[in-house]
Structure 1
């Protein structure tokens, strides 16, 4: 059994990807109640510690996990990094750095074999790159050799051009750390043969992701729809899920005014509302209509207004956004659709999540190429 602890677990995108690669999450932690409901519904066997990470101590994580520190193979997660600050060349004691320092504290005490750290791509340029240098240095201070890169989720079969920062840290490792090779690429490139590399599959497009979903118009749909499982392609086949096959959760469309619908209708696929006549534009200029023939734009926490369905004059449903994030249809998200409470909305949870297929690619790579070498090196 290969074990993980998932910090800043959110809705469970990383745990879902690692689960599909054969890992067992022995404990997850986050402080948001709705995220906990989502996580525990979809991962009912994983103990969940609902607590502010600043108050978490290692002993309670391990008690929840029912194992000792030496049995933890991987710690996963990515603390929010907005507002990082430095003192000299090191991360300062500024309160804005608190969450990362808690990650370091727990990793130092548990000493897992591997750290999988995912974050916003902007972290690479924060304060001219000095924040990233400090992060790598502080991982090094607790014994981890690191490799990091900016990756595109679309390169690993996710129907979304989502750039993300990924760092792998390995304890006591004298080998070169590698990253998984992309499995997908542009259509004009995927047919090119390379005798030393696997032939790339074409990028998974919005049409590949959406074509078999039930059609829902303004204000239509439901939180649970039962269908006879069917698919038009391999990506959709993989979205059926194993928990409750034939169940599609969270496929409910927002109702828009007639004026909004008319504006959306005038935007061509692959364009935003800056193409509209000036007299009908609104202050919001980043409403983008998805192109059926391309991977989707990055799914944000505001996808109902940031992303327009390619053929229907409305924003995306939670399920459509989850499809772009590579969640199975029977992965259910809990919470409000609007920010009327202090807890995360369904939109927040989907937008903040690590795409499971991206996590899966790295989990498979860690299992095949890093953990075996680690065992040879350390035992």
Structure 2
């Protein structure tokens, strides 16, 4: 059976492509991102996928068709940045803030895939009182697609992270595809009781991280031997690129004052949980709770998201585990923002969780 051909726009480190690969039956024939370091990460982990470092707005129609070898593209996936949309009434105007989204629409219109998947931040739904979402749907309807959209919580699809994402699926075949049904839920929710035996419990931080090498401030390695798995999730994400190894388990060093602050912060707590003399004006620092899925992994997980058992921020590997990347999925780039390109932290924090992408891929496969 032939593979379902896919193009990944704004691919970043490759979370979307990774999830579609895990679903089986898909082949990404082109991936595009403007950041060199992210493309290096993508190419290393997907060596058989053509990936180019380019601004999508620089790719003209003839070049795009040549890059895809004039193949019939069945699926386009991607999540262009959508902060600060500019509207005129209920219409997206030709404003630089709208450029990347309009380029996404342009490429979908050129390739005319059977289905596209558009992923973004949940704040898009309420932007300008919902007018931005209305305008986005109008743009896709204009080029011939039936639209379904909603908010999916990554934890409901086996990701050990409560990461809500806006997902919009378009189909050219005059049918609304809808969104994938959850596979996981919290142990105390009503839906868990209703679907007992069908839904699995959410994966917790403790289940995700418990077998990683224990390291302190400034310790760790870029490559290390993997530990024996302790549960099904840890077995699932061991990977098949370099079995038995994991990458990017290296911690940054904090000052004594910061270590003291993190040491006093309880699991599930934040700055407000600390004694007065240890508090700062920065309130968005949180310590993970081992008994629940992680909060949303941002690009600042070395300073803002504290390890549940160690008084430090997360490593790239720990954050990648919480994003559901395989242990042998290797990220390249600096750990600090002094670099010209995206850091490892940016690549992990910006990624689509592969297991969420896999659920979406399995869902749309039924319509292809």
Matches within 5 A, 1:198-237: 199-227=198-226, 230-237=228-235
Correspondence for 2:34: 31
Q: Does 1:184 align with 2:192?
A: no
For the aligned residue pairs, the C-alpha RMSD in angstroms reads 1.3
Q: Which residue is equivalent to 1:15?
A: 17
1:188-221 superposed Cα distances (whole Å, 9 cap, x missing partner): 2476254xx8621110000010011111111110
Q: Distance in 2 between matches of 1:19 and 1:62?
A: 23
Gaps of 5+ in 1: 372-379
Rounded Cα–Cα distance in structure 1 between residues aligned with 2:94 and 2:31: 26
Partner of 2:285: 287
Secondary structure (helix, strand or coil) at the match of 1:147 reads strand
> What is aligned with 1:118?
119
The answer for the alignment partner of 1:322 in structure 2 is 320
Q: Write out aligned runs for 1:1-379 (5 A).
A: 1-22=3-24, 23-68=26-71, 71-173=72-174, 175-189=175-189, 192-194=193-195, 199-227=198-226, 230-368=228-366, 370-371=367-368
SS of the aligned residue for 1:323 comes to: helix
User: Per the alignment, in what secondary structure is the counterpart of residue 37 of structure 2?
Assistant: helix
Shift of the 62–49 alpha-carbon distance from structure 1 to 2, 3 Å rule, reads: farther
Alpha-carbon contact 2:146-2:176 (below 8 Å) kept = no
Whether the 8 Å contact between 1:48 and 1:64 is mirrored in structure 2 is no
SS in 2 for 1:237: helix
Partner secondary structure for residue 214 of structure 2:
coil
> Distance between the aligned counterparts of 1:263 and 1:278, measured in 2?
11
Q: Once the two structures are superposed, what CA deviation does each residue of 1:107-131 show, in whole Å capped at 9, x if it has no partner?
A: 1111000010100000000000000
CA contact (8 A) 1:206 1:291 kept: yes
Structure 2 SS opposite 1:192: helix
Cα distance in structure 1, aligned partners of 2:192 and 2:360: 24
Instruction: Give me the TM-score of the superposition, normalised by structure 1.
Output: 0.94
Match of 1:376 in 2: none
CA distance in 2, matches of 1:57, 1:297: 40
- C-alpha contact 2:207 2:233 (8 A) present in aligned 1: yes
Q: Give 5+ residue unaligned stretches, structure 2.
A: none
Q: Distance in 1 between matches of 2:251 and 2:64?
A: 39
CA distance in 2: counterparts of 1:244 and 1:279, whole angstroms: 47
CA distance in 2, matches of 1:276, 1:291: 16
SS of 1:167's partner is: strand
Partner SS state of residue 364, structure 1: helix
Inter-partner Cα distance in structure 1 for 2:223 and 2:69? 34
Does the 8 Å contact 1:3/1:26 carry over to 2? yes
Match of 1:377 in 2: none
| Kept in 2: contact 1:119–1:166 (CA 8 A) | yes
TM-score (norm 2): 0.96
* Range moving further from structure 2, 176-185 or 89-98: 176-185
Runs of 4 or more consecutive aligned structure 1 residues displaced over 4 Å after TM superposition: none
**How far apart in 2 are the matches of 1:14 and 1:293?**
27
- For residues 198-251 of structure 1, give each alpha carbon's deviation from its aligned partner in whole angstroms, at most 9, with x where no partner exists: 621110000010011111111110111123x52111110011101111111100
